[in-house]
Structure 1
Amino acid sequence: MQQLIQLRWLAVGGQVATIITALMVFHIALPLPAMSLVLVFLVVLNVLSIARLKLPSAVRNSELLLSLLLDVVALTAQLYLSGGATNPFIYLYLLQVTLGAVLVEAWSTWAVVAVSGAGFALLTILYEPLGLPPGARLDLFQLHIFGMLTCFLLDAALVVIFMNRITLNLRERDARLADLRQQAAEEGHIVRMGLLASGAAHELGTPLATLSVILNDWGREPALRANAEWLQELQDMEEEVKRCKAIVTGVLVSAGQARGERADVTTVKAFLDDVVDDWRAKKMASNINYQREFTDDVLIVADSALKQVIFNVLDNAAEASRDQVTLRASRVEDALTITVSDHGPGFSAEVLEQLGRPYQSTKGRLGGGLGLFLVVNVLRKLGGHVDARNTGSGAVVTMSLPLAALSPSALSQTTLDGNATVNHGSMSRGP
């Protein structure tokens, strides 16, 4: 529709220029009132088309066909008023047919061909002859050849310009469809991973419970209780088993919990503080430099998926760098930006090139390389994006997502769509 609007403006300008040239240069009398009405009709049609584009619904094939047919009718009217089929600009019908072949469905293209052909045939017998000036010695054949040359150049230029634009539109559409297919494949991969993770969590429950019972029995053995070193190691093992059971429970709860169920409403500052504190406690790490530059605090939902995403990035940075890891949170317009940097060897060229694809890892572990894959897909689901780069002294991962995606109102809408209920819980406030 945008291409048709632009072409129609060109048609209005070209017709005005042609009318002025015929009057001022060749002194040909033309029915100006009637031809002006056709120009006004094209302008009104363009205004209505622009207003139509502002509507949220997509432009349908029937609307494109109607626009093309109205353009054909307007061209027929102008040709009727200026010599009919003897007018060399009669071949502008071909431009309408060409646009129809690209923009509308096959049956609609044939409708444009039929109407254009009928208009051409009608103009061979029904038209207003050109009003040549009295006593003029115009070489009509030379004038007709000049008009045909002008029409050919105009047709050729417009076809090249608009066909290139339409082809570019089609390429962009194909690229978007390819991206959607890739996203669908990746989301299917995530679903399979989630099913396997849930199954593994269920399976691990039994052996962990068995280990817990065995360790508890060992703790009552006099020989072990008499050895302080062994007793301490036994207590450490019990703590690790409890931690494993907590992780398994968390996986099962997250797998069966839709976004919005038992979610807490908090603030950006409180959420980030909790994430960093939890990561420090679980990893027993103190080498994180936490820089919170988020000035105006806002209410958000404590999304567990986003928390795990930040954990994944921090884990990768801590594994790659024994030195300090830096997490910087800031606000860029209406987006939350979280940057994690380290002083490790950086990403390989293959990982940067295939960022967000599964199993892209330099650690050499079977099934590795899923961390960034999950990070990219979760951020994309929330309407954000992930960038990764090397700095020469390490690597930097930047996560950006709109705050609107984390707002309680967005959560309520998501919950209503999924027939879930929201429990806002106790609202924690930032410092």
Structure 2
Amino acid sequence: MLQLLIYLRYMAVAGQMLTVVFVIQRLNLPIPAKPLLSISAGLLAFNVLSHWWSLSHRGDAGPRALILQLLVDLLALTALLYYSGGPANPFVSLYLMPVAMAAIGLEIAPMLGLTVLTAGLYTWLLRHHLPLPHVHGSDFQLHVTGMWVNFLLSAGIMVVVLSRFMTIVRDQRRRLSEARERAIRDESLSALGSLAAGTAHELNTPLATMGLLVDDWMSSPQPPPREDIELLRSQLAHCRDHVRALAEMARRGAAGETTLEDADGFVHACVDRWRLLRPNATATFSAGAPNRKVHVDASLPQALINLINNAADANAARGVDEPVEVSTQAREGWLTIRILDRGAGPARIAARPRLDSEGQGLGIGLMISKASIERSRGRMSLSEREGGGCATEVDLPLAPTSQAAQADA
């Protein structure tokens, strides 16, 4: 904006000087040429200094610099109009040019300030100006001609300013679109990373179980019992399912796909999946969001399973023989999922922010869960449970009722 204003001022100064010479030489009007040309020369000197300053600062001009430029233009225009008829001058409407540029390039407060100042200077000229000399019989025609020239000049300036402004807007829109595409691409890569880390986290438990079984068999001279072999087979099946699910979730995550699922059914399925992962732990589920639906992306089920698993670890670490309590509730457009345990509480978790609640896992469960929930436009909070323990709340946005009804249909 500053560069454009400087170039326009060069043309304005040239036009002012040529107009003064034309009026004196061709129209033979006795106007005060010396002060008029002095004002234009001073404005030219200011513009040269402004041009040098903008080049030395590589065009990095803030709002204060633009305000100063517009103030100088207003004062110079007021001085020129003072010596050339004041409000009777057909070029008095040039007062609108600084106001238009202020509206484009400044915030509300300085723009309003410059507008009030412009109105005040115009009002001051009503009583303080040197009248134009009259040319009998032709002064009104000269005024009309001056208004025509002023219109052409104003239209040209507005076309230049607005075209430059629209070029800037289009460039900003293009950059915003590119930034949005980069953000979507980075979000997809982040989702894939979370999926891989979450799968590694889930595989840790069955692999640990298989390691314990192998250690027992190696230390025992007896052949392994059938129950242990069946347990090993089931854990291997879990690992195979997790790896297969990772490939599917990676595909969905990279494409940013989501599915519209029943809220209670989705949470219940996560609890059932966790029960397969932890057959020796228990959890209860209480449904409280009937006929409501949520958007589920690839990593969200894994996030809830991690939180339930953390709660079970917290109970085990404290030696509490209680099930993890999972419940849902629909309120004010949100699905609230509560996961309750009797562990050490949120203070202990806050003291170990990079570790799971109490377990000996990989230490990334909470981080994965929080990232996945926030990616789904949800939120997670931890609070002290009444009677001891931790209450983990997950809020997910519910799908609109109309959208859910359309999906059912």
Shorter-chain TM range is 0.3 to 0.5
Which structure has the greater CA radius of gyration?
2
Q: TM-score normalised to the size of structure 2?
A: 0.47
